[in-house]
Structure 1
C-alpha cells in the first residue's frame, strides 16, 4: 500500500512538539502478576510566560506515574537529552483506510526515577549516650579525614579540655591514616575524559557548531546573574579602578562597558558568561589539586561548583581504591577549550587571543594548538598604535570560527625534507 506523508502542526501552536519519552531505568510492559503496567499516566507541564521573547517559554516537564515508581524528564538544563541538539524527531500517524500519514514535530524526554526526599531526622544517640553536637561531629570528621592543618587547629582548641594521653592517641591515629593516603595517582583514563564538547560539524551557522548550552546551561547562567549585574552596572570610575588593581581578567576588562556587538547573546547573558569565564580563569591558574581549598569555588553558587566539579575535574582512582575528582593537566586543557568557546560566543565568533594569553599564561604556540583542535583559524593583525605595517611592528592574533567546521589533523608521518638554498 502506497503511503503519502503530509507535515502537520499541532493546533496549540507552531512551537509545540509532541513529547516522546524514554525510560533510563525500566520500560512499559504488559500485564505481570496481575498488575497492568500499561496503566501508566503521563502529564506535561508547561512554563507560564507572558513574553514571546522569553527563551523559557518552551520549557517543558513530563511526569509519569507508574505502579512502583514515578518518573520525571526535562527539556532544559543539565538533565535535558543531548540528542535533540543533533537530531530531529517526528511522530507519524497513519490512517490505514486512506493510506495517508500525518507527521508532527516531536521532542525527546529522558525520564528518570523521582524519589521523594525524606525529612531530616534528629541526631541519633551513640551507644545510648547524649546525641552528638555539630561541633563534636565536625571534630570526629576532622580527626579521621581532615588535613594536618585542620587537625592542629582542632588540637589547639581542645588542649585545655582533654588529657595529654588523648592528644597523643589522636596524633598516632592521624599518622597511621596519613600512611594510607596515596602517594601517586593512577594513570588517567583518556578514553573516559572527553576534551571537546558535543559539536555539529555540518551546520552552516557558527553558533550551532559548539552550542553554548553544552558548555554552560541557561539555569547556571541565571545563577550567575548577580555577579554579571555588577559588570553591567559598573561605572567608568569602577572600571578604571579594576584595571589599576587588576582585580578582574584582562579579557573581561576589555569588554567593559558592555554594549551591543556582533554576539547573538544579550548584554545580560554576555555579563553572566564573562562572570563564568572569570571563575574558569582563576581555576586555570590555581595549583590546587582538589576542589577543597580553592578560594574561587567558595565564592560561587553551589550549582556552579557542582557543575565545574562534574564536568571539568577528572575522576581518578587512588592507590587505596578510593575515587576522587582531581584538577589534572587534562582538566586544565578542557578549561582552556571552554574559555576559547565562551570567548567566541561573547565576541561573535571573532575574538582576540592576546588577552586570554595574559590571563592564563599560556604561550602563543600552545594557544594556537588549542585553536586548531577546535577547528578554528588564527589571523595575524598588525597593531596600528605600535607601528602599523612597518618592520618590527607589534602584531596580535585573532581567532575565527567559521561554518562548516573543518578540523585539520596533524601529519603523523615523517617530516618533510626541506631543500637547501
Structure 2
C-alpha cells in the first residue's frame, strides 16, 4: 500500500478551510472503543464568534448506549499538544490518487457519569464532596493508622479556623486604630512603588560609568536605531522658524531643546541626537493618548519596526467590541516617562529637565519626581531664572545621574500630589 502511494499519490492543499472541512481526532481516556459506528458524535461551538479568544472553542460529545463522552479544546481538560503542534489528516481519493490535507484537533474524550455535575464553577464543592465520601469510607472500613490520620487532620482544621478568627480579629483592631482610609492609602502607595519598579529601564547598579547604568542598547536596539535614520534627518533639517512654531505650541519642549543643541555637537553625536529626538517625539505623542490605532505615527513617517517597538513596549492589549486594541494605561505612561528620562540623560550629559519633561508627557511634576527617585537620580534645584525678558521667574527641577546612585526612603519621602498646571 505504501509503495503504491509513494509511486502515484500526490498531495493537494485545501484553498480555504471552513469549520465543516476540519477533521477531528478523538482519544478516549478510559480505553479503546470497539464499536465506533454506534457512537453518535455532536460538535458544539461557542456562540460568541466576535471574541477572538472564544470563537475557536469547541465541545465534542459522543453518546453511546451506556455512557456519554465529552471532550473540549479549552479549559483544564483540553490537551496541551494542540497549542504546541499542528496536526493534519490526509484524505486519499482512490480514483484520482490525490490526498487532501485537512487541519485537525485532538479531543480527549472523558466519560460523564449520570448524576455527577461537571460545571467548573462548582469544582471546589465537588472536591469537598469527594473528600467527605473518602472520610466516610475511612471511618467505616479504614485501618487504625488511617483513622488516626483522619482525626489529626480534623484537629488541624479546627486549629486553622481558630487562627483565621484570631487574624481577622487582629485586622479589625488595626483598622479601628488607624482607620480604613489610611490603610488603603498605605496599600495603594506600596503597590504604586512596586508597580513602578517593574516598568523602569534595565539598570546596572554596579556600573563603573554613569552612561552604563541605563545602557543605550537596552533602551533602543541597533536595528531600531538604524530605522530612525530618515526621521532623524527630518528633525535635523528643521528650520529656526519651525522650531519656534514647536516652541509656541507648548509641546515637545525637550525635543526642541535637543534640536537647538545640534550645531554645537560633532557629526556622530549630532546624528544620534536627531534620531533620539524623533523617537522622543513619538513617545510624547504616545503618552498623551489612551487608545492607539494601527495608523499611529504614519504622518510622522514612523517605520514599521519602530511602531512595533512602541506597541510592544509601551502599550497593553485589551478586548473591546470584538476587537483587540492597544491602550496606554497609567503604568505604561509611567514607563514612557522613565524611558524618556533615560534617553534625555544620554543626550544631555546625564542631566535632565524634569519640569519640561513632565509638561511634554502630560503628567504631574510630583509623579515625574517620583519616577526620577525610583531611577535613583540626584535631584537639583537650580537658581531662579527668568522665562522671558521682564516676565515672571520660573523654577525648573533638574535631575542628574551620578555615581554612586542616590537612595531614597520611599515611605519618608511621601508628599501630597500637586495639581498639574
**TM-score, reference length from structure 2:** 0.47
Q: Which has the larger radius of gyration?
A: 2
Q: Comparing both structures, which one devotes a greater share of its residues to helix?
A: 2
